[in-house]
Structure 1
Amino acid sequence: MKLGAFSVSLSVKDLKASKQFYEKLGFTVLGGGMDKNYLIMKNENALIGLFQGMFEGNIMTFNPGWDENGKDIDNFDDIRAIQQHLKGEGIETGTEIDSKTSGPASMMVTDPDGNVILIDQHR
């Protein structure tokens, strides 16, 4: 199963302070914006999302159809196929994505230890 680009989405208290901290670790801004209350930051192939006031806790994120630069890739597994596979494995995927649709969609699953995984397809 191809889940796409991986990142960790961090819930931060102060976006400016977090940006400055991760810049000191060598990360640069790839997307988002201070005015949007989130930044996507990159250091080589590592991606992190900094989100202020959007959710509680930290989330692992996969983006089917994207590489680690947020660029479209040709060969990827659509989120609807991923949903069907996970359901077949007995994993609860939350609200059902209509299999007759195409394009952007998202779902969340939770691992046995309570870690949240967001699968977020943007195309």
Structure 2
Amino acid sequence: MKNEGTLIGLFKGMFEGNILTFNPGWDENAQAIKEYNDVREIQQKLKSSQIEIMNPADETTSGPASFMVTDPDGNMILFDQHL
């Protein structure tokens, strides 16, 4: 579903439970943007705030990567970088 610059993806049956995704480096049309925070940078900031990282991205690499965290209600949050 899309409303102006806001995009919500609905994936019935694709994931177990609820999941919220963020795609660093993409705009609402899945087009590359020039400046963005790399997933590894986001991961490091969350780790420094004592947030548990699941399936961490390899911080020695660059390019596509992803990691996940769980919100206080138990919902998954996926940071999924395609660039």
* TM-score under structure 2 length normalisation: 0.87
Q: Hey, what's the Cα distance between the residues in 2 that align with 1:89 and 1:105?
A: 21
Q: What percentage of aligned pairs have identical amino acids?
A: 66
1:98 aligns with 2:41: no
1:45 aligns with 2:5: yes
Q: Hey, what's the Cα distance between the residues in 1 that align with 2:38 and 2:24?
A: 7
* TM-score under structure 1 length normalisation: 0.61
Deviations 1:27-62 (A, max 9, x none): xxxxxxxxxxxxxx4231221212243212221111
1:83 aligns with 2:83: no
Mapping 1:44-83, distance limit 5 Å: 44-83=4-43
Give the structure, 1 or 2, with the largest relative contact order (CA under 8 Å, sep 6 or more). 2
Q: Hey, what's the Cα distance between the residues in 1 that align with 2:13 and 2:72?
A: 26
For the aligned residues, what is the CA RMSD?
1.4
Amino acid across the alignment from 2:5: N
Q: Hey, what's the Cα distance between the residues in 2 that align with 1:83 and 1:43?
A: 28
Corresponding residue number in structure 2 for 1:6: none
Corresponding residue number in structure 2 for 1:118: 78
Amino acid across the alignment from 1:76: Y
Amino acid across the alignment from 2:67: M
Structure 1 or 2: more helix by fraction: 1
Mapping 1:15-26, distance limit 5 Å: none
Structure 1: 5+ residue stretches without partners? 1-40
Which of the pair has more CA radius of gyration? Answer: 1
Q: Hey, what's the Cα distance between the residues in 1 that align with 2:63 and 2:75?
A: 26
Structure 1 or 2: more strand by fraction: 1
